[in-house]
């Protein structure tokens, strides 16, 4: 059996990111969403007043044109809408529609369930250590 020491820290993180991506792929497919669409909906479900396009790009690690295309596609499905930003009339915020919120919640629950299944055999201390390390490495902006 290969150990974490054999793989190295970076390789282990890459493998972990692939597992997380696999969760978004599987859950997205079950809701007729691409992994990126599922991630977008989950991100939007976290924000109460909508999210600006620039912030979405940062959160999803996408270029502006990619965010625009992604938002366009989910807007055509009536899952999101663009609304004027009350703080800057030139800017728009992306918000979930009622159907988008329903689907976002379902996708989020599905991803959480998949990740919990993947970690089911880990002792609680290891799960807590992984969570603490992840928060320290990627703090909220």
Write the pLDDT tens digit of every residue in 60-107. 999 999 999 999 999 999 999 999 888 888 888 999 999 999 999 999
Residue 138: both structure tokens together: 């990627």
For residue 119, the 8-state DSSP code is T
Domains and CATH numbers, the chain: 16-116 (1.10.10.10)
Q: Indicate the SS3 state at residue 80.
A: strand
Nearest to 101 by CA among 57, 65, 63, 50: 50
Above 60 in pLDDT, residue 25?
yes
Query: How far is the C-alpha of 119 from the C-alpha of 73, rounded, in Å?
Result: 33
Find the farthest-apart pair of alpha carbons in the chain and give their distance in angstroms, rounded. 58
State the average pLDDT over residues 117-123: 94
Q: What is the mean pLDDT of the chain?
A: 90
Q: Supply the pLDDT for residue 6.
A: 63
DSSP string, 25-57: HHHHHHTT--HHHHHHHHHHHH-SS-EEHHHHH
Above 60 in pLDDT, residue 4?
no
């Amino acid at each position: 059996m290969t150990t974490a020491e054999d793989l190295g820290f970076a390789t282990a993180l890459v493998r972990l990111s692939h597992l997380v991506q696999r969760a978004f792929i599987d859950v997205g497919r079950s809701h007729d969403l691409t992994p990126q669409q599922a991630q977008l909906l989950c991100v939007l479900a976290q924000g109460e007043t909508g999210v600006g396009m620039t912030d979405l790009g940062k959160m999803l690690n996408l270029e502006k044109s990619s965010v625009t295309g992604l938002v366009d596609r989910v807007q055509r499905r009536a899952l999101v809408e663009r609304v004027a930003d009350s703080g800057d009339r030139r800017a728009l915020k992306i918000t979930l529609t009622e159907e988008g919120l329903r689907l976002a919640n379902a996708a989020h629950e599905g991803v959480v369930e998949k990740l919990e299944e993947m970690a089911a055999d880990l002792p609680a201390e290891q799960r807590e250590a992984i969570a603490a390390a992840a928060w320290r490495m990627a703090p909220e902006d």
